Copies of this chain bind each other. A is one copy, B any other.
């Protein structure tokens, strides 16, 4: 089979874009299911009657979309994905939320610091300017795959030493209970999406250009007192959020 006839020059749509669309359609149609890989660039170049660079532009675009993943020396593989579902409610908890969707869930503390709250953090936590907070940088994995990268701030006065407790337990819920917060509620969640930055790429094991879902969330104790503000990045191709239902 040749695709030569399917791409046209001088039609207002770049060749690489036409080819990317065609390959995407081919993948959806199961064209390459036998190998799970896209044919080598040289083969595709011949099939489409274009230079290998043009194929590379097309595959790069598909790589950005997370549809394929090029591996040096091996070939370009088709990505298969299924998303974890992450429910968001008043009682949102990470581990419980993922629940039975993964065999094992781990939390790693990357670093912690005691610092002065920025204007943004102070606003969310309803703290006076200049108040000290404890910041945790953590990664959570489900079945060995990185699922989230969170930056979390706690009021330092109330949660002195929470970093050590989190490091031991790997769980915010357990850490908070050590401080007498047996229950807490999700007050507000903001959701946006953007491209992964270098730090996201590293800690979430992403390909550059991948998409991350970003949540900004505030948890309060049962009295409505803010206890935790988090900015969390999730790999968009591994996670979906659910509200209600």
Contact = CB atoms under 8 A, between A and B. Distances in A.
Contacts of A239: 192
Interface stretch (A4-12, A59-67, A108-116, A150-158): A59-67
The count of identical subunits is 2
Contacts of A209: 61, 64-65
Contacts of A240: 190-192
Interface residues of A, number: 35
B191 A191 contact: yes
A50 to B, nearest CB: 17
Contacts of A237: 194
A244 to B, nearest CB: 5
Interface stretch (A41-49, A141-149, A181-189): A181-189
B241 A190 contact: yes
Given A21-B198, A65-B195, A243 B208 contact: no
A213 interface: yes
Nearest to A195: B65
A211 interface: yes
A193 B239 CA distance: 9
A192 B198 CA distance: 22
Interface of A: 17, 21, 61, 64-66, 83, 85, 88, 90, 186-195, 198, 208-209, 211, 213, 218, 236-237, 239-245
